[in-house]
Amino acid sequence: QQQVKQSPQSLIVQKGGISIINCAYENTAFDYFPWYQQFPGKGPALLIAIRPDVSEKKEGRFTISFNKSAKQFSLHIMDSQPGDSATYFCAASITGNQFYFGTGTSLTVIP
C-alpha cells in the first residue's frame, strides 16, 4: 500500500513557468515531509523539507506548501528552468522511523 501518493507522474512546463507537484498522505502521525530531486544516472538528493507546524517553506525558487487538514503537501518551482528537469520525489516519515517515498514526477522544462 502506497503511504504517500504523488501526482502527476510527468509534467512539462515552459521555461519561466511554475511547476507544481502534489502529494497526499493518510498517516496523521507523519511529522516530516522532504522532497528529493533526482537527475538521470544519479541518486535522489534532498531538496527541501517541511514539518507540519508551518504551512509554507521557501528556499530560493522552491516552495513547499503544506495543508495539514487536507493531508496534502506540494512542491512549487517558480521560474522553472531547463536545469530543473529531473524526477522529483516527495516523502513522509515519523521522526525516528523510515521514509516513505512517492512514486516520483518526471519534470521537463522546455526552453
Partner 1 sequence: DAGVIQSPRHEVTEMGQEVTLRCKPISGHNSLFWYRQTMMRGLELLIYFNNNVPIDDSGMPEDRFSAKMPNASFSTLKIQPSEPRDSAVYFCASSLDRYPDYGYTFGSGTRLTVV
**What are the residues binding partner 1 (CB under 8 A)?**
2, 32, 34, 36, 41-46, 49, 89, 93, 95-99, 101-104
Please identify, using beta-carbon distances, which residue of 18 and 46 lies nearer to partner 1.
46
Contact 95, 41 (CB under 8 A): no
In the bound complex, what is the minimum distance in angstroms from residue 29's beta carbon to partner 1?
14
Distances (CA, A) of 55 to 35, 37, 68, 75, 90: 15, 21, 8, 12, 16
Contact 73, 89 (CB under 8 A): no
- Beta carbon of residue 20, minimum distance to partner 1 (angstroms, whole number): 19
- The answer to whether 61 touches 79, Cβ cutoff 8 Å, is yes
Q: Looking at beta carbons only, is 17 or 99 nearer to partner 1?
A: 99
CB of 97 to partner 1, least distance (A): 6
